[in-house]
Amino acid sequence: MSEDTEGPKAEGEEAAARRRAWLAVNLAATGLLAAFVLAGPVPVRVTVDGTRTWVLRGTTAAGLLRQHRLAGTAGDLVTHDGRTVVAQGGAPPTITLDGESASFGASLDSGDTLVSRRGLDLVEPTVTRTIETTPTARYRGTGPVESVEETGTPGAAEVVVGAVSGEERSRRVISTGTPTTIRREPAWRGAMEVALTFDDGPWPTSTDAVLAELKSAGVKATFFMIGSAVKRRPEVAKRVLAAGMEIGNHSLSHRSLGRASVKTIGSQVRGGSNTIRRVLGIRARWFRPPGGSWSSAVKREVKKRHERFVLWTVDPRDWSRPGVRVIAQRVLDHVRPGSIVLMHDGGGDRSQTVAALRLVIAGLKGRGYSMVTLSRLKRLPALPVPPAVHRLAEPTAELRRSSAR
């Protein structure tokens, strides 16, 4: 055979060999890819809580829970009587896989059916504590002015409470202590006198408006001020004091004290008293609990501060804004010699109270009443007012115009 015929034949065999080699490599690569795909996380069709869906093969029930794809939720953490403390703070949901109970580590494959159900509620754990109990109270006399004669001694009890809610489950008395003796006194000393009192100030605009009405009529009143408000508006508080009004303690931040801890009661009573003394330079003689909520522990703390506890005898509920004439009529219908009238210069819109005050004062004067401070009503000597307070400027023209309206 000649070189001309052998050359093309050799080249053809070489090309065929290259094609065979290329095909072998591609087949091997395809096989490896197929093996990888079959072994890897491929999508599979499953049923989760009645819904057909796709998941990656090997997905666990825990993974579906984290993805919020399960209908079943954890149970709640509850108190001993079944009230919820922490929603979904109880046992995790239960699951079945293809009808069999399964763990959250169980993985899903094609065609699997997973059903989840709400977990059980769990009762919160408890802790046992020994606490100081408030002495019981015994009373002598009647009337709205109260003072502690004997402080009594606290008792002790072992209580079991919820570790999360703090709710008491049981109590065992260790010692009862001795009762607190509280004297109640009538406000009336025989004169045609009434004490107007105002709570929850000092407040922007309305305190000055109330003060303007009182000054215009030439009457005195007692303002029960919140310590934090005195700190925010010292000049308003000083104007009240400079006008000859009496300042009482209405706590530091208007917390309800009837069920408060001894620590909270102490900080609220002391905080209000100390703020008034620091800002105004006077000692508060009277304490009125926010909302009239009190316990014997409150009265013991008031006694420690050398203040007098006082509530009221006439409440027109002016804070509810029932109308100017309704407020005035409620006062005038129920007032008696020695009455202590509760109204508000702070805590919200007090325009109705300001307008009603003019009617109240006119009505009381028409019946022969004088309006005095609580200390005057109780015939207590006036407390000294720092000289610097007397030199305070009058309210601005804008405030006087607002009061006139």
- 344 is an active site residue: yes
Phi, psi of 188 (to 5 degrees): -75, 130
Angle separating helix axes 262-280 and 296-304, nearest 10 degrees = 40
Residue 325 DSSP SS3: helix
What gap in Å lies between CA 219 and CA 370, rounded to an integer? 8
The pLDDT of residue 153 is 82
The pLDDT of residue 243 is 96
**Range with lowest mean pLDDT among 25-29, 50-54, 263-267:** 25-29
- 121 is an active site residue: no
pLDDT over threshold 70, residue 7 = no
For 43-123, which CATH superfamily applies? Beta-grasp domain (3.10.20.30)
Three-state helix/strand/coil letters over 3-55: HHHHHHHHHHHHHHHHHHHHHHHHHHHHHHHHHHHHHCCCEEEEEECCEEEEE
The pLDDT of residue 376 is 94
Number of CB atoms found within 10 A of residue 206's CB:
25
pLDDT over threshold 90, residue 186 = no
The answer to whether 331 and 358 have CB atoms below 8 angstroms apart is no
pLDDT over threshold 50, residue 284 = yes
The pLDDT of residue 1 is 46
Domain with CATH 3.20.20.370 in the chain: 187-404
Say which residue the tokens 């045609």 belong to. Answer: 192
Residue 104 DSSP SS3: coil
Mean pLDDT of 251-266: 94
Q: pLDDT class for 402, splitting at 50, 70, 90?
A: very low
Q: pLDDT class for 251, splitting at 50, 70, 90?
A: very high
pLDDT tens track for 191-205: 899 999 999 999 999
Q: Is the pTM of this model over 0.85?
A: no
The pLDDT of residue 398 is 46
What gap in Å lies between CA 106 and CA 108, rounded to an integer? 7
Q: Which residues pair with 51 in a beta bridge?
A: 48
Mean pLDDT of 323-342: 95
Tell which wins on pLDDT, 215 or 389: 215
pLDDT tens track for 172-185: 999 988 888 888 87
State the amino acid at position 212 in one-letter form.
A
Instruction: Pick the catalytic residue from 76, 112, 199, 318.
Output: 199
- Best-predicted range by mean pLDDT (6-15, 23-32, 55-64): 55-64
Phi, psi of 106 (to 5 degrees): -65, 135
State the amino acid at position 165 in one-letter form.
S
Sheet holding 94-97, edge to edge: 51-56, 43-48, 113-117, 94-97, 100-102
Residue in 243, 209, 250 with CA at minimum distance from that of residue 353: 209
Q: Residue 75: CA atoms inside 13 Å, Cβ hemisphere, count?
A: 14
Domain with CATH 2.20.230.10 in the chain: 126-184
CA distances for 19 relative to 9, 14, 22, 26, 29, angstroms: 16, 9, 5, 11, 15
User: Which residues have CB under 8 Å from 213's CB, separation 6+?
Assistant: 354, 357, 358, 361, 403
The pLDDT of residue 143 is 77
Q: What is the mean pLDDT of the chain?
A: 88
Q: Considering the domain 126-184 in this protein, what is its CATH number?
A: 2.20.230.10
Domain with CATH 3.10.20.30 in the chain: 43-123
The answer to whether 370 and 217 have CB atoms below 8 angstroms apart is no
What gap in Å lies between CA 138 and CA 185, rounded to an integer? 14
- Residue 152, sorted as left (phi over 0), alpha (psi -120 to 50) or beta, turns out to be left
Q: What's 187-404's CATH class?
A: alpha beta
Q: pLDDT class for 404, splitting at 50, 70, 90?
A: very low
What gap in Å lies between CA 127 and CA 43, rounded to an integer? 49
**Range with lowest mean pLDDT among 67-76, 109-118, 230-239, 382-391:** 382-391
pLDDT over threshold 60, residue 123 = yes
* Residues written for the chain: 405
What gap in Å lies between CA 181 and CA 62, rounded to an integer? 63
Instruction: Pick the catalytic residue from 200, 208, 250, 344.
Output: 344
pLDDT over threshold 80, residue 396 = no
Q: What is the DSSP string of 141-177?
A: S-SSEEEEEE--B-EEEEEEEETTT--EEEEEEEE--
What gap in Å lies between CA 75 and CA 92, rounded to an integer? 6
